[in-house]
Amino acid sequence: MTGKNELTFERPLTTVDVVIFTVRDDSLKVLLVKRSSSPDDPFPGAWALPGGFVDVSIDETLEHTARRKLAEKTGVQSPYLEQLGSWGGKSRDPRGWSSSHVFFALLPSDAIRPVAGGNAEAVNWHVVPVQPTRKRMAFDHAEILAKAVDRLRSKVEYTSLPTFLLAEPFSLPQLQKTYEIILGRPVDKSGFRTRALSADFLIEVGEMDVGAPRPAMGYRLADRNRLVYFPRAFSPRASSTFDG
Amino acid sequence: MTGKNELTFERPLTTVDVVIFTVRDDSLKVLLVKRSSSPDDPFPGAWALPGGFVDVSIDETLEHTARRKLAEKTGVQSPYLEQLGSWGGKSRDPRGWSSSHVFFALLPSDAIRPVAGGNAEAVNWHVVPVQPTRKRMAFDHAEILAKAVDRLRSKVEYTSLPTFLLAEPFSLPQLQKTYEIILGRPVDKSGFRTRALSADFLIEVGEMDVGAPRPAMGYRLADRNRLVYFPRAFSPRASSTFDG
DNA sequence: TAAATAGTGTCTCTAAGACATTATTTG
DNA sequence: CAAATAATGTCTTAGAGACACTATTTA
């Protein structure tokens, strides 16, 4: 809109953050990194979402930046990945006007190789509490995490998302348990099985010895790149308010 | 992550674009602006989504930038507004690595005051074709528009979104027509009415003379800031593929 | 055998879909 | 009256929810 390609105005900082979820030890967990304790950095020592600045010289797209960050922290190449949204403003980063493009990843907990990769910060799985416990985090990451958990929970009501949190093969009881952990409430077994099996996205791959008295049938996804939408949600959803 | 606040690396361009929908003349329409024809600017003369660079000195947040752009082009203050996502990469803008934060707005067609505001570009409503007609647009705006239309159509299947496209008061036949225009297919009247009326978000405000033989009951929203989620979608949705 | 977990069957209920019918206005 | 549109009624159907029941394994 300048008429000539000046573009001399100040540019906001541009970062990409990734909310990485897994289910482990019967809990929903999110991967957080501890920020450097140097007082020259913002939020020294605080926990934050993994992420960082876009590197204009190596990143082709925002999604590439996200995958780069993901691989750095977890070693995982192809998890379920979707965009969550973006956050930007004058006061969220003390270093200046900044915007973050945030992605949302799901991975099976055994897919992660013992982290603590490139740089030396601590990296840890943190339990996501059922209540939105507003723990203190760097930047506006608590708000971002809350939104990610919202999105996860609401999509789990009517999609096959939890399949991306399990290693294959998995059993239907394992999958049901994963739904229950994320939703924080029990799910009826019979209805769950009919729903899952009639959606035609699971392939039987023989019985699994789950260490339980009776072995369960093992399944894998017919297509790891397909998210299934069930015809109805588990339970009707309440209406939501947007800021008008 | 630098250790000292250097931040001397190159920063991407940061813009905000707004996909503004309305329904007019029995069609879904989107507001597009014609870019300057100066050969110094990218995509001279092409149609683009309204938007522009974040102004670090006046914009508090990305949403403020979006509302500013929206007000500039339409004069409207408080439409339905939600974030659609963000797009960024090396080659979408010839001026350099750029990212766009994209918002999505719905407004009643009579709420728009005759546009062509601040700057002199042409501003026009364009019919959104039922088929994703890949018309040539500036930047990656055709892709963004396609995603916005997808999101609109899929949310219309199970929410009260179309209420934000009508001026109050409106009648149920008008609302039903709006659903049909967006979905591109007829909707059963009886089921539609039960669904709308039992969701308890419409308030009767007396009969309206719609120019039709029999006047229809007029309604307004109980809460203009509430989006209602119906318990089931109109029709089961197909599964979708994400890029793994 | 009992204990534990996997898997099935049955019945109810809610809300959408199809489609016929009635109601209210104008000319 | 007829024509047009608004509004309602009836029956079917898909799929979730609750919950009892059967099946298969180990110890």
- pLDDT (tens digit, 9 = 90+) per residue, A152-190? 999 999 999 999 999 999 999 999 999 999 999 999 999
The reply to whether A95 has its C-beta less than 7 Å from any atom of strand C is no
Query: Residue A8, Cβ neighbours under 10 Å: how many?
Result: 7
pLDDT confidence bin for B1, thresholds 50/70/90: very low
Taking phi over 0 as left and psi of -120 to 50 as alpha, with beta for the rest, B39 belongs to alpha
Rounded distance in angstroms from the CA atom of residue B153 to the C1' atom of nucleotide D3: 35
How far is CA A88 from its chain centroid? Answer: 20
> How much is the average pLDDT of A27-31?
96
Q: Which nucleotide is nearest to A173 (CA to C1')?
A: C6
Whether residues B90 and A59 touch (CB distance < 8 A) is answered with yes
Could you check: is the Cβ of residue B185 within 7 Å of any atom of nucleic acid strand C? no
| Interchain contact, A60 vs B243, CB within 8 Å | no
Please say whether the beta carbons of A96 and A12 come within 8 A: yes
**Which residue type, as a one-letter code, is found at position B99?**
S
Instruction: Look up residue A204 and give its amino acid.
Output: E
CB B19 within 8 A of CB B144: yes
- CA dihedral B144→B145→B149→B151, nearest 10 degrees, is 20
What's the pLDDT at B23? 97
d(CA A80, CA A163): 10
User: Which tokens belong to A83?
Assistant: 């965009």
- Please give the pLDDT value at position A131: 73
Query: What whole-number distance in Å separates Cα of residue B187 and Cα of residue B180?
Result: 6
pLDDT beyond 70 at A219: yes
**Distance, CA of B44 to CA of B49 (rounded, Å):** 14
User: Percent of chain A, pLDDT > 70?
Assistant: 91
Residue of B6, B15, B89 whose CA lies nearest to A55: B89
- Inter-chain CB pairs, A–B, below 8 Å: 188
The reply to whether the CB atom of residue B206 sits less than 7 A from any atom in nucleic acid chain C is: no
Peptide bond into A169 cis (omega under 30): yes
- Give the start-end residues of each E strand in A43-79: 47-48, 51-53
Q: Which neighbouring-strand residues pair with A16?
A: A52, A101
Q: What is the mean pLDDT of residues A116-133?
A: 75
Look at A3 and B80 and tell me if their CB atoms are within 8 Å: no
| pLDDT band with cut points at 50, 70 and 90 for residue A134 | low
B243 interaction partners in chain A (CB closer than 8 Å): 225
- Model confidence at A112, pLDDT cuts 50, 70, 90, reads confident
pLDDT for residue B115 is more than 80: no
Q: What is the pLDDT of residue B240?
A: 73
Statement: the CB of B189 is under 7 Å from strand C: yes
A211, pLDDT greater than 50: yes
Taking only the tens place, the pLDDT of each residue in A31-59 is 999 998 889 899 999 999 999 999 999 99
Determine the pLDDT at residue B244.
Answer: 47
Is any atom of nucleic acid chain C found less than 7 Å from the CB of residue A34?
no
Residue with the two structure tokens 């939501």: A240
Higher pLDDT, A5 or B9: B9
Q: Which nucleotide is nearest to A191 (CA to C1')?
A: D16
**Residue A114: predicted pLDDT:** 54
Interacting residues of A164 by C-beta distance below 8 A, sequence separation 6+: A79, A80, A106, A107, A108
From the alpha carbon of A198, which nucleotide's C1' atom is closest? D15
Q: What is the pLDDT of residue A1?
A: 46
The gap between A91 CA and C23 C1' (Å) is 60
Whether residues A226 and B243 touch (CB distance < 8 A) is answered with no
Instruction: Work out the number of other CB atoms within 10 angstroms of the CB of residue A240.
Output: 13
A231 touches strand D (CB under 7 A): yes
Q: How far is A213 from chain B (nearest CA, A)?
A: 35
pLDDT tens for each residue of A193-202: 999 999 999 9
**Band of pLDDT at residue A7, cut at 50, 70 and 90:** confident
- CA of A53, C1' of C9: distance in angstroms: 57
Where is A63: in which H helix or E strand?
A: helix A62-74
